Amino acid sequence: MKTSNLLKGAALGALFAAGALAPAMAQDSVYFANNAYRTGPFSGSGIPIGDGMRDYITMINERDGGVNGVKVVYEECETGYDTKKSIECYEQAKSKNTIVYSPWSTGATLAAIPRAHVDKIPILSMAYGLSSSADGTNFPWVFIPPFTYWDGASVMVRHMAAELGGMDKLKGKKLGLIHLDAPFGKEPIPVLENLAKKYGFELKLYPVAAADMQNQGSLWLSIRRDRPDYLYNQGWGAMNPTAVKEAAKNNFPMNKFVGVWWAGGDDDARAGGDQAKGYKSLSWTLSGTEAPAMQDIVKFVVDKGKSTTPKEKVGEALYNRGVYNAMLVVEGIRNAQKLTGKKVINSEDMRRGLESLNLTEARLKEIGLGGFVTPTTISCTDHSGHSKMFVSEWDGAKWTKKGDWVEPLKDEVRPLIESNAKDYVEKAGNWPKRTEPCEKSS
């Protein structure tokens, strides 16, 4: 007998239904809901990311009065990196007509991908999520710029070859992959296996169970025994600082230890203390606040007290990636306005805007990020761009760029993406065929 609870629920439901939740749409504004996690076990990474996104959008609203005069109403929905709450956030974002959904977790992305194709809401999963969603023909509503985990794995191999002196020198070498034992962590395996076969190096896997993120002692014993020449770390959250600490403790040469971009937060490396010097990670955004757009954030937002970010945190690696993600959203809106001629766009226009995103070096210069972030071009079939990235190194206090911008091995990655996308669509049964016309990059 659950009358009282049901009544309460029904009363609240009536409140929801009454549109109490509908956003107060001011004149000429677009609504953008972003999933954030400022609480929970991953908040250490979630807070700088959310801060970067919020500050960039605030800066655009403060400096330019929005995108071409249209204010971006930015709202955060707290997920705690929990898929259940992320799904709630998706439903809420949908009911408020968000122009784009920004999941910020692979689990949330996987749950949202089928829905987005029915609800016609574009998903922007920046360098995370489902790698095969880079296939725009099968996933017209998902965008994964500037590249996928598979691109990252291929750049890791290129980095290894570059240090050894050529692809032919890979033969007989050992590459260790230390990864979270979950779908996210296992992402790079198929690409690395293919490349290992092709170039004759050996791939060793070191899985870390989610429960043992902070307890990797036994794993490092086997790493010591195997002595891999290079170690690639596909980790997230509490796993990264632990891995860096263990590497230092076990005297693994730090300059042979490379993390995926999400294992390249400032706090991840800081945990290793002085011994973490030389730890590397892949990246596509330079740290620091030298870029003109970053200067504007400091000037219009942080110094004006319109931000919650501590000033010393502005310009950290993850913060700048948040900025990059917000920049993609803003440029998507701008493109959509150009394509449709409308000022206030909706989610379907936004999809067109993202599909024709062409962030050349020249365009990035206009935005004020030229030379500081990777240029990327999205097309109708390629929803990722497979853009260049670089290897950055921790100098004990901050991440600095080492070496050049490197292209991923697109010829290796792309066929895998297409075959996996086909596989996904076949298994889904009744997957909606793409009906949206292709956009030209502008």
Q: Binding residues for another protein, per CB under 8 A?
A: 1-3, 5-6, 8-10, 12-17, 20-21, 36, 38-39, 76-78, 80, 83-85, 87-88, 91-92, 94-95, 107, 110-111, 113-119, 130-132, 181-183, 186, 190, 209-211, 420, 423-424, 427-431
Q: Which is nearer to another protein, 180 or 409 (CB)?
A: 180
CB of 79 to another protein, least distance (A): 8
Which of 165, 170, 224 is CA-nearest to residue 192? 170
In angstroms, give the least distance from the CB of 285 to another protein. Answer: 24
423: its two tokens: 């596989």
Pick the closer one to another protein by CB: 61 or 356. Answer: 61
List the one residue out of 419, 393, 402, 364 whose CA is nearest residue 146.
364
- How far is 226 from 190, CA to CA, in rounded Å? 21
Choose between 119 and 163: whose C-beta lies nearer to another protein.
Answer: 119
In the complex, the smallest distance separating the C-beta of residue 247 from another protein, rounded to whole angstroms, is 24
Report the nearest approach of another protein to the CB of residue 85 (Å).
8
Is 368 within 8 Å of 291 (Cβ atoms)? Answer: yes
Closest by CA to 33, choosing from 130, 123, 127, 155, is 123
β-pair partners for 394: 399
Between 36 and 282, name the residue whose CB sits nearer to another protein. 36
Q: Is 168 helix (H, G, I), strand (E, B) or coil?
A: helix
Yes or no: say if 57 and 301 are a contact pair by the CB < 8 Å rule. no
Q: Which is nearer to another protein, 95 or 346 (CB)?
A: 95
Q: Work out how close the CB of 77 gets to another protein at its nearest, in angstroms, rounded to a whole number.
A: 6
Pairing of strands 376-377, 399-406: unpaired
Angle at 379 between CA 375 and CA 383, to 5 degrees: 80
The reply to whether omega before 188 is within 30° of 0 (cis) is no
CB-wise, 295 or 308, nearer to another protein?
308
Q: How far apart are CA 407 and CA 230, in angstroms?
A: 20
Q: Which is nearer to another protein, 148 or 374 (CB)?
A: 148
Write down the least CB distance from residue 284 to another protein, Å: 23
Across-strand partners of 358? 377
Cβ-based neighbours of 180, under 8 Å, separated by 6 or more:
207, 208, 210, 213, 234, 235, 236, 239
State the minimum distance, in angstroms, from the CB of residue 436 to another protein: 16
**Based on CB atoms, which residue is closest to another protein, 166 or 429?**
429
Closest approach of Cβ 344 to another protein, in Å?
23
